[in-house]
Structure 1
């Protein structure tokens, strides 16, 4: 006796190695239908872990870029441009959006800031040409300041 469920849902399932996009949607459909025996479990696990790492890297990168831009803003008055203000705001939007979706990363943001601060300083050094000694040893910005969409250390020069 053959049951319809014995027949694979996808006659020619997508291969993870060849088309991860189609594969992902097929895996989601199989999970929705409860066809767990057809799910490519090892690769689903790998992709879920990868997704978590990507979100962490996105938030870390946004904090790094934000802090670097703020350090540059303070250290080099010529960097106080609308373009740099826009970069700061975009980094904050990314942080806000991603932390809404990943509360555990929001709760761990202080550790993230501490981890990315040395790289942010290197970026600020490269942008300004200033030596390491011109920047604080530890991040001078509180999380509330980093997350505040309107906060800038100083203001745009007149006429910018």
Structure 2
């Protein structure tokens, strides 16, 4: 590998250099160790984003359901936006579908805390586990009563 292009000090230049090596099929020059790390990191990033999107979606659905007198268009807009982003992630990465149940399980405790903080309601008011199905969470027409 070109010693002047270092993964630790200039990631962008390193990435461009390794991409050029791949295009030129100069496999023996590739920084395999860091390439593997980056590929694994990309998959983890998508899973983290999916969980984060569910956290916001769930928090807004909980607020919508448990504090109906405060419903507003921004909550509805946030619900719609998170659904769009989740669906876009799944379209771009169909294998993430298998991660949906786990993402919801990971997201729910933080969504519960967020909903409690934003509404001022005690966490004990809300269900301890997610009561919405995956289908409901992804359905653009589903909003709790």
3-state secondary structure, aligned to 2:127:
coil
3-state secondary structure, aligned to 1:108:
helix
Aligned length: 145
Q: Distance in 1 between matches of 2:94 and 2:132?
A: 21
3-state secondary structure, aligned to 1:116:
helix
- Asked if 1:45 corresponds to 2:36, the answer is yes
How high is the TM-score relative to the length of structure 2?
0.90
Closer, same or farther: CA 79–46 of 1 in aligned 2, 3 Å: farther
Closer, same or farther: CA 79–20 of 1 in aligned 2, 3 Å: farther
Closer, same or farther: CA 22–79 of 1 in aligned 2, 3 Å: farther
- Asked if 1:112 corresponds to 2:103, the answer is yes
CA RMSD of aligned residues (A): 1.8
Deviates more, 1:118-127 or 1:131-140: 131-140
Extract unaligned runs of 5+ from structure 2: none
Match of 1:35 among 11, 14, 26: 26
Alpha-carbon offset, residue 65 of structure 1:
0.9
* Structure 1 stretches of 4+ moved >3 Å: none
Larger relative helix fraction:
2
Alpha-carbon offset, residue 13 of structure 1:
5.3
- Asked if 1:132 corresponds to 2:123, the answer is yes
How high is the TM-score relative to the length of structure 1?
0.82
Partner of 1:77: 68
In terms of Rg, which structure is larger? 1
Extract unaligned runs of 5+ from structure 1: 1-7, 155-160
Q: Distance in 2 between matches of 1:146 and 1:86?
A: 14
